[in-house]
Amino acid sequence: MAKQGSGASPSPEHLPPPPAFPPLSAALFLDLDGTLAPIMPRPEQVGPDRRRAMLMKRLAATLDGRVAVVSGRALDDLDRILEHAVTPIAAVHGLVRRDAEGHVTMATPHHGVADARLLLRDLARCDKGLQFEDKQVSVALHYRNAPGAGEAVVEAAQRIAVITGLVLQLGDMVVELRTPGQDKGQSVAAFLRERPFFGAVPIFVGDDLTDEDGFTAAARLGGYGVLVGPMRPTAASYRLDNPAAVTDWLESVVTLTPA
């Protein structure tokens, strides 16, 4: 089963930037790659950034802890990049989730992950530009450095998904075969059932097709989505140009939100 982000829909040619004054009860759900950090040729090249870590801490203080990162990356990788500045995290699209109290829950890996791991590793050996990534509950193959292999990689991943029963998650120059279960939208809903997020207005900020589930969930639950990057069909209501614009907007949230 292929999953590209179920909420994408036709949208106008232009979306405005998000309000400088979000609701006082806002909760921020933030993607990492392409949102808080620029996309890099290889995932491991995204590293810690002191300004970003301090901004996350200031946002959490401003919003009474209602800041979570929702990403396809593994939890340990997110902690490395964010320097442990954020406690609530939904990693691997929500298959691994840490709540505001620091409690971690992880889906049981689907039995098909072992077979997909072997197959994607073999594919990665066919082209030095392909990069294999193992997240325990899912496996991924990045082809940003081998764009010519993209069509073959996607076709192979589609076949593996059918054989194994895994969910095929298509992202920005990456295919991921993951254990069926939580997506980014369901992760937002799960956080909103817990303190300090309960009753908050969700704002989901992301760039990728996988973030459409987050945009859709935010809108359904009384908030909105913010698309980062070029305009495309989306369930988001607002748009920012790039991660630098996201940082500037988040800085304004910290500065302009009443104490």
**Catalytic site positions:** 31
* Ranges assigned E (strand) in the chain: 2-3, 26-30, 67-70, 89-91, 96-98, 104-106, 131-134, 138-142, 167-171, 174-178, 201-206, 224-228, 238-240
Beta pairing, strands 238-240 & 2-3: unpaired
Residue 57, token pair as written in the block:
């801490």
State the angle between helix axes of 50-62 and 75-82 in degrees (0 to 180), rounded to the nearest 10. 100
